[in-house]
Chains A and B, each alone.
Chain A
Amino acid sequence: MTDATDATGTTAGTRAGAAGLDARLVVRRAAFDLDLALAAAPGEVVALLGPNGAGKSTALRALAGLVPTAGGHVRVDGTDLRHLPPDRRGIGMVFQDYLLFPHLSALDNVAFGLRCQGLGRKAARARAAAWLDRVGLAEHAAARPRALSGGQAQRVALARALAVEPRLLLLDEPLSALDAHTRLEIRAALRRHLAGFAGAAVLVTHDPLDAMVLADRLVVVEDGRLVQRGSPAEIARRPRTDYVARLVGLNLYRGHARGTVVTVRDEQDGDMIDLNVVDYLEGDVFLSFAPASVALYRTRPDGSPRNLWQARVGGVERQGDRVRVQLEGPPLSAAADVTPAAVAELELIEGSTIWAAVKAAETHVYPA
């Protein structure tokens, strides 16, 4: 991102190759401080991912002009919108619970923005009808929002935001109000519509699956700051914070590498353990492995695998067709996935002690 060098946002106007979104958002609140650089090329979908209260929604609202920014810039196609009110930014926004105007029909909801652009009632309705048709809701044009299902309301909200042909599309938790079944279907539909959208799009979500499926790039935010960004595949493979590691379901440790040995310090009790890895690195590193690659033994296994340690069982929890076992250090806390049969065999009860092993080939090490 280029904007780190240009934090003042005073150079409004066009810049070469500045199509799409290029923003630095600075929002100061009493108990909260957001400072986030964000870019999205035309046609690109960027997902803002983060825990609750991380500032994702605030960032989105700052882009829309709904919260005042204390600094930075919001450039869309080279024009700085930072000082413009929301109604003059030419952006489209899909809100978390859609906020369809309850007193207007689905058709008039979609036509609302077009009417604001100065289109006559008839022309606006004709264009709105075409948009409703595109999201597959032509027969619900006359329905009031109250009569629509969650999935239908979401599609009307999307049509309403897209109808004004925004240069930037913002989506705030667009799937969170839906039940699991509808969510699957609407996620696929949303992906299709986003693929057909020519402008830049920024999506806020706390669901990693939504982010992975819908976005071309992920930006992970914690406490108002960027902690990691990259393609979904990259983030899934190389998490850099505990939050991201939990999202993508990996065990993550910080350590110090000397060749193919990584010294990991357990965060809870500060105990150290040396783990053998295959990646050859020197210096501070992240080390990750999947819970499924942790093998558990009742007694110390023979012909011992090289990464072996004894841990206490902190919790056993069923997750789908697997069982997640929380291992507590010292020397190393980790999550391990085993089959239900293994739970019985291993007599896994909370508080019992067990041997855990990870093959060097199952670990993944990358620079910190």
Chain B
Amino acid sequence: MTAAPPAAPSAERAARARRAPSGRVPLVLLLPALLGLAFLVLPLAGLLWRAPWSTLGTRLAQPHVLEALRLSLVTATLATALCLLLGVPLAWMLARVPFRGVRLVRALVTVPLVLPPVVGGVALLLVLGRRGVVGQWLDAWFGITLPFSTAGVVLAETFVAMPFLVISVEGAIRAADLRYEEAAATLGAGRWTVFRRVTLPLVAPGVAAGAVLCWARALGEFGATITFAGNFPGRTQTMPLAVYLALETDPQAAIVLSLVLLAVSVLVLAALRDRWTGAA
């Protein structure tokens, strides 16, 4: 309220600062910039160029394509749900509960971001595999086998995608005004009520953005999935795996599947445009 008037001149100043000084753009910067742009855009253009548009409909309707698509959508959605269920409380802990080693925990949470997904798959296999540290008990006590199952796909995707959600939500919670939570507390709200009725609604946009990001990452997951869950059509063969397989036997099909994934990426970008392109 009171911050609005002083904010206006500072925004103006920032806009002025951002404007480039007059003069031509030096070639030594312009050329690599254009080259970089071309490098990013041309492969996608090539994909569209070489797509078998006339047979697109029939190829998309093929059972194994539909099956891979369905499996991808289902597992990515389940993985996102799992990420929300576990990741939002984790993000809240990191942002709101001061405890010893919080920096270490935050670093651990981000490990899957930089870890090669294949390594993640191997690690999951070692822990949750039939002979794994936890897996052998799951097998012995409950008869649950996770590797090479649809549940395994969900777990592999969750492992890789969760950091995206945690980081996004933690940032949102940190940015949220703590004083709203204090106001809620003076009105008699306990910590759970404060979280449910104040914190969560305040950071809902951050949670949504994190979930979309998380879902997109899960949908494209390849390395951890193929390592931990294998490549069984109808059970663990998601779209990226199907693309990889099709490339060897039926390149046209690979292009069609790639197009579908590209379309999904564009949709995700459109969903997040306010957060990324708008805010920048």
Contacts and interface: CB of A to CB of B under 8 A. Distances in A.
Interface of A: 64-66, 85-93, 95, 97, 99, 101-104, 112-113, 116-117, 150, 153, 160-161, 164, 170, 177
24 contacts: A64-B182, A65-B186, A86-B182, A86-B186, A87-B186, A87-B187, A87-B190, A92-B186, A92-B187, A93-B183, A95-B179, A97-B1, A99-B177, A99-B180, A99-B183, A101-B202, A103-B201, A103-B202, A103-B204, A113-B189, A116-B193, A117-B188, A164-B187, A170-B186
A269 B2 CA distance: 42
Given A95-B179, A177-B1, A101 B188 contact: no
Interface in B158-182: 177, 179-180, 182
A161 to B, nearest CB: 8
A93 B187 CA distance: 8
Contact of B180 (A90, A101, A153, A161): A101
A117 B187 CA distance: 9
Contact of A101 (B2, B184, B186): B184
Contact of B184 (A102, A112, A153, A177): A112
B188 A90 contact: yes
Contact of B198 (A85, A93, A95, A101): A101
A115 to B, nearest CB: 8
Contacts of A161: 186-187
A95 B1 contact: no
A161 B103 CA distance: 38
B197 interface: yes
Contacts of B179: 95, 99
B111 interface: no
B47 interface: no
B185 A87 contact: yes
Contacts of B193: 116
Given A66-B182, A102-B202, A97 B2 contact: yes
Contacts of B180: 99, 101
A85 to B, nearest CB: 7
A161 B1 CA distance: 20
Contacts of A117: 188
Interface in B44-71: none
A231 B202 CA distance: 43
Given A85-B185, A112-B197, A177 B190 contact: no
Contact of A93 (B2, B186, B190, B204): B186
A56 B190 CA distance: 26
B186 A112 contact: no
Contacts of A150: 1
A165 to B, nearest CB: 11
B190 to A, nearest CB: 5
Given A101-B180, A102-B202, A112-B197, A64 B186 contact: yes
Contact of B186 (A91, A102, A104, A153): A91
Contacts of A99: 177, 179-180, 182-183
A95 B189 contact: no
B254 to A, nearest CB: 46
A86 B182 CA distance: 8
Given A66-B182, A86-B182, A103-B201, A164 B188 contact: yes
Contact of B183 (A65, A95, A153): A95
Contacts of A102: 202
Contacts of B198: 101
Most chain A beta-carbon contacts within 10 A, residue among B183, B187, B188, B204:
B187
A99 to B, nearest CB: 4
A104 B196 CA distance: 13
Interface in B192-225: 193-194, 197-198, 201-202, 204
B185 A86 contact: yes
A58 to B, nearest CB: 13
Contacts of A65: 185-186
Nearest to B204: A103
B183 A87 contact: no
